[in-house]
Amino acid sequence: MKYFYEKLADDSLKIGYKVKKDIYSKKNKNNKIEVVENALLGKIFVLNSEISLIEKYEFAFSEMVVHSIMFSHPKPEKVLLIGEIDRGILKEIVKHKNVNEIYFISSNKEAKEVFQKNFSNLTVKDEVKIKTVFDDSLEYINNFEDYFDVIIIDSKEANLRKKDFLKSAFKALTREGMISLVSGSLKRASDINNEVKLFKTVFRYPTVIRIPSTQEIFSDLGVVLASKKINVSEISLRTLISRFKQFKEAKNLKYYSPEIYLSSLVIPKFYDIK
């Protein structure tokens, strides 16, 4: 009987996943990439000993990351995603038919290709709207000015959490442009509070929402939303419902709804998010 144990920040706890099948495993100087299958959870993508995606419940993550920001913007047409792999995010972005350009900057070509091969049900195939780039995010984003309506950052890269990058992202966004950062566990409040402070130096109205975490016991993930002009915490339920009714894929969503999104703005005191 074989178990996979995820590497956690707190070494006093281990979470084991019984392995039904080893699907992929490769280690080199840059990456350790594993794909295992669990009888209950389906396939699990592991990057450098940390779980990036659990197949069975990925919809809760991808729907909240994408639709929370997309419905907060009045009409997003150009979207930039930054991350190692897309974690099901691209398939949610393309559901918005008014989007005509999607850029995906991946910092990890090997991981992206392994993910695409082994999670074909979660990836977008032959979509002409999507341009995938393997490049340094800061260098690449400097090529744009007043261009993107939405930028989604789903990466742990430290360079993406610096003022220089946020200033470049600000310049690349349109007048009503919005940006989101998948921050991490809300239990690591000091990290998220510091990121909110950083966003405040460049953007208006940084707001934290909570989304489900399938990787930690009793925890939610924090996502920082910010904008040049739009205060997401003041968008009314009526506005969100109006936009949602025009969304042809609404009936196919499993987790996101305007009501769920607004509830995600409420952060329990337990997490100590300022």
Q: Are residues 46 and 64 in the same domain?
A: no
Is 1 a residue whose pLDDT tops 70? no
Q: What is the mean pLDDT of residues 161-179?
A: 96
Is 143 a residue whose pLDDT tops 70? yes
Which H, E and C letters describe the chain, residue by residue?
CCEEECCCCCCCCCCEEECCEEEEEEECCCCEEEEEEECCCEEEEEECCEEEEEHHHHHHHHHHHHHHHHCCCCCCCEEEEEECCCCCHHHHHCCCCCCCEEEEEECCHHHHHHHHHHCHHHCCCCCCCEEEEECCHHHHHCCCCCCEEEEEEECCCHHHHCHHHHHHHHHHEEEEEEEEEEEEECCCHHHHHHHHHHHHCCCEEEEEEEEECCCCCCCEEEEEEEECCCCHHHCCHHHHHHHHHCCCCHHHCCCCCHHHHHHHCCCCHHHCCC
Quote the pTM value.
Answer: 0.94
Q: Are residues 62 and 36 in the same domain?
A: no
Q: Are residues 32 and 161 in the same domain?
A: no
Q: Are residues 50 and 69 in the same domain?
A: no
Q: Are residues 117 and 35 in the same domain?
A: no
Q: Are residues 201 and 157 in the same domain?
A: yes
Q: How confident is the model at residue 245 (pLDDT cuts 50, 70, 90)?
A: very high
Q: Are residues 98 and 176 in the same domain?
A: yes
Q: What is the mean pLDDT of residues 104-116?
A: 93
Q: Are residues 69 and 39 in the same domain?
A: no
Q: How confident is the prediction for the chain on average, in pLDDT?
A: 92
Is 157 a residue whose pLDDT tops 70? yes
Q: Are residues 114 and 182 in the same domain?
A: yes
Q: Are residues 146 and 256 in the same domain?
A: yes
Q: How confident is the model at residue 145 (pLDDT cuts 50, 70, 90)?
A: very high
Q: Look up the domain containing 18 and give its range.
A: 3-54
Q: Are residues 163 and 49 in the same domain?
A: no
Is 216 a residue whose pLDDT tops 70? no
Convert the pLDDT of each residue in 36-92 to its tens digit. 999 999 999 999 988 999 999 999 999 999 999 999 999 999 999 999 999 999 999
Q: Are residues 145 and 27 in the same domain?
A: no
The CATH number linked to 20 is 2.30.140.10
